[in-house]
Structure 1
Amino acid sequence: MIKWFANLKFRYQLVTGMIFITSAALFLIGQVSYFYFYERNTNEVLRRARSSVEMAGESLSYQFNSLSAATNHLLVKEPFPQMIADINNYNFTGYARYFTTATAVTDSFLQNHDLVTNVLVCGDDQILFSPTSLGISSHFDKLLPENIWQYPHITVLPTRFSNMFGRKGVIPVSYPVSSILSSKHLAYQDITNCRKVRFILLVDTEQIRDYFNRMSNRYTYCMYLADENGQPLDITEKEYPDAFLPQICKWVADGSPGQEGTVKAENEDLFLTMNKIKFCNLNVVHMTKKSALTGDIKEIRSFFILVWIACFLAAVLLSLALSGLLTRNLRVLGTIIRSINDKTYTKRKEFNHTDEISLLGVQLNQMYDTIQLQLLQIKDEEQKKAMAEIQMMSEQINPHFLYNTLECIHFQILNGHSKTAEGMLESLGKYLRTTLSFGKTMISVEKEVEHVTSYMEIMNRHSSNGIQMETQIDPLLKDCQIMKILLQPLAENCIRHGFDGFISGLEPVPPRIDILISPADHNKIRIEVTDNGRGIDIEVANACITENSSESQKHFGLSNIQKRLKACYGDSFRITFQSIPYLKNSVIIELPRDI
């Protein structure tokens, strides 16, 4: 495969490489994004489900237990003890006289408990009391078709609908009760050889459903109440068939408080979370379908597919276009640059044409001659002073700056960006003319600004950061003399410490450097270099301009500026710092206008 790729023509290598890189990057981004968002959504849904079932469990436990306590209080009020005793003892002669008194007591109970729609008192031969209907006995089998007499304990039954109480569903809560008149006590049990009695609360299903709907979120498939066997109580199989599946009921019945897990349904996975209610072993169950979680994420996958198709077509077209430009007349320039790097460039290559690459070659020769001439002048005319100047420059400028710039020019040439390379050469020439200014220590403000501008032009072409720089100079100060190479290290610090790590297109703020040079009090010049990067650690910055501190050795840029300013101006200068991260981070220097 590698051999086959190496034998392809350059334009096909470029096309293949760009397609492969683009496709691999987008595929990786798409897969990572899909799994990331899926896991995030799943964890968030489970977290919300846990919170919902915990809150619902506590709330319903409190409501049912409060309701049970109120029921205890109701049943000890007259005429219920005597009524229950008469039913137990087959004495029905005075049953009708209890109706009015029982209705009055029960109406107060129903008004204080909105969750209950009605109460029933019945014997095993369907002798029945209900405060809302005298004819409910004929509908008893329809309301309670199951054998409620088989339950010896308090039991919550599934929801059912009855025309006697409107179209709303009700959940019966059956209490087995017996009256012991000799002790004037009620017992929640059946007495041997006595008629069985049931006190039944009819709980409003709609209120339970409204409460669960408020506790649900947009991913919730169903949130419901289940008995100890896992059977749903407040929903119907027609509405939510998955909740009635045997494996779901078994998972709920075998579960423990706070349990969560995944159960396989017929077509997809269901995420379940449950919690116990401290009343009749009831359970609150929250159910979410996996398809609800992946629905939003599929849109992200579709988006990446469309982006991949667009990038695929763009990569093909751009590769073909670029390959035609990059293969013309570049070998000669490549040979020149290699010779310069190897220090074997002695025989000049003449360029007689006026196309961009020929002009670039001429400027490259001029740049090389300029550098050689300046190096000879530094050696021959002012060796001692030049050595000090070079030492100072080596502390201020990355020693690989020139070589990196040449390599960048080389890369721009190889990629056919002749105008970019031409601009970089021009900026580099301006930069070097100021930097290597034949040992001069002082230059005009205007020249110093041109120097840092050239530096920023080169740095912006080095990378894709696209740092914007604005300068403002008071017209009266343009010709004032200041120490040279003062602004460039400050701009370099802005790039290295303020914008380092910024990703093009994803910056928290558009990178920007502002330089303001204005008059100050007492015949001074105020220089303020501001960026909107990460911010300045003012304590560290102050340590850098303190002699013999450990920070001054680590951060030589500010330390070197402080030492050179002291050599030029003595103690008549001042450096201060201000920092508001990602808004305004300033280094302020005040200098005398005249030395």
Structure 2
Amino acid sequence: MKTIQGKMFTAFGLTILFSILVIAYSSYYSSARVIERNATTYISDRIQGANTNLQSMVEETDNIAKSIVIRDLIHQSLLSHAEAPSLEWFQQKKVVEDFLASMAAFKNYVRQITVVGQGDVVFYTGYRAGNSEFIASLWQDPLIRENRRHLIFDPSGNGKIMLVRPVLSNGSLIGLCIIDFDLNLIRQVYEIEPLAGTLVAVVDENGSILYDSRSERIGSRLEDQQMLALASAVQPGTSKSSKLQMDNRSYLAVSTRSTYTGWTTITMVPLSVLLSEVKGIGSQILTMTAVVLAVVLMVSIFLSKQMTKNIKRLHSAMKLVREGHMNARPRIHNDDEIGQLSEMFVSMMDHLQELLKKVRIQEKEKREAEYKALQAQIKPHFLYNTLNTIKYLARIQHASNIEDISGSLIELMRYAIDPKREMITVREELEQVNRYVRIQRYKFLDRIAVVVKAEDEVLDCLIPKLIVQPIVENAMNHGLGTTDREGTVSIRIYGDGPARLKLIVTDDGVGIASGKLEHLFDEGNDTSGFSQSGGIGLSNISERLKLAYGEPYGLQIYSQKDIFTTVELTIPQVRRRMEHAAQSYLG
């Protein structure tokens, strides 16, 4: 996405999509956890209720067993020596079995009561049934002699559960009271399938499956390691939940151990069934996500289009300007950032047009100035050639003064009009001064003396050309030329430390009044140079030095009326090996 509208559209879409997905996942995860906790609590409560019901039934059955084992009738019948088939044996058997039947009355969960004695003494209710080998094994079990309730599971009898109490006489085991529970008892008690596909298993302490919703597993041993680990991890009277993987399905398993029977009940609910409602909620959330995302994207398209409309207008105007339509302006009247940017662009273009107009005017003036400069350049060359002719004629006619003046003037002009040499040595500048003085000697008739004192060390220093000669010219014309008395112009050049160069020109002429000295460099002030004669003024020299070297360097004037005038120049010391750098520095 290269456009702002595309980036805004993408940013809005991704932000909303991410936010909704986070909310949807959080809602789904929270709902799933709540449902799992509620399911665990519900199953635990149901199992606790089933354990309570079973406990109540077992206690009632145990009370029946207690009533049976303490009856004298039972003791006498077990110790009787009546042999079958005799009248006494039949009478005794009928009385005992009628008693047992009365004890089992109204207890639908009691399937049969059997009292077994030594030998073949057996009393029972209903039809006689049972595994003689299993009963014989009970006689051999030393724990069975303990005078307490024994809750026993017989896997050989279709998963029969029985309550056994010993019949004791004077501490001796004379018989067993066996009460068989109805085979459907466990199923009725633990049939707590809250959802379709729920698996329920009841396991005793030995790992035998007392009940399983998959009936074919009843009577077998629990072999699944995950269920064994879960059953062994739970403490009596507590519940524990975990997630198991079985037959390629995920289950929420809740294990509860009864403190009364010691049996462990494991209930496994398929997570797919348990979370089906959550998945429905998830589907609704996804549908709402799609709808909300579509609405948000439509709104983002509209908003981004509105927000980028003015940007596109500004872009179109800039494109037109780039193509050369300088009068192109965007039509934006908003007060927001884009409106402010548009105002700045319009202001910038207006200012740019003004600058272009000025540049066109300046280019026109420059071309005119170049034309005039070309015309003006013809005059010095013409004058230069003319002076050479005069010098040649003066030599022929032996007019030495004219030859001397014209020769000096030729050298002055040659340095002045040479555009390739902006920097010359102090020695060369002094030669220019000497040539100028030789010309002026004929004007002032040697009444003005020029004294030069220059250190040898600074004679090869480079300085801008025409900065000493114009000052000497000023001193002779303005300082001494306005009087008829003799005077002196002294030139002193020396090094001020290793980095600075001093050039001082002093005359003992008319001086400058303090009021005029303050305004000497004011624009249009003719006293600062030869504006009337076309020479180079002091203000020109001052500006040249400031532009070339900066504020620490430049020109200073000291004067006292009718006594002296001193012009002091301060510039950096530049040697010949630095000439190239100096030329670049001066432009």
Category of TM-score, reference length = shorter chain? 0.3 to 0.5
In the superposition, the TM-score normalised over structure 1's length comes to 0.44
Larger Rg: 2
